[in-house]
Structure 1
């Protein structure tokens, strides 16, 4: 009786692990695709034609960060 219960518990855990592995595998593939797209975008932005655009985006990002920091400090 005890062995049967343990076997069922092991099987349940195995099924749960399989689901988690499949989920993790899908997330890994999604992350890999996003990383690839980011690398491609970075190459395009840092290329000869995109160098100026990259600097403008970096400046906008810094301004946005400063604005967000000032908003957080205002709530303190």
Structure 2
């Protein structure tokens, strides 16, 4: 099923403009706030964050292995 995103957005805007229900409006605001404040980093464990930071540090220090060399060791 292909969704025309622009048409869906227009339909939602019409529905929002036609409602006088403050609970619906507040619910929609909460959805947008929740979506805009979610950062995947916050969902990672401290161990995962440490591993990512270590990888970044290794890259910055030039401690790299090219893909083919890495794969050759694991075949």
Q: TM-score scaled to structure 2, two decimals? A: 0.39
Q: TM-score, normalised by structure 1?
A: 0.39
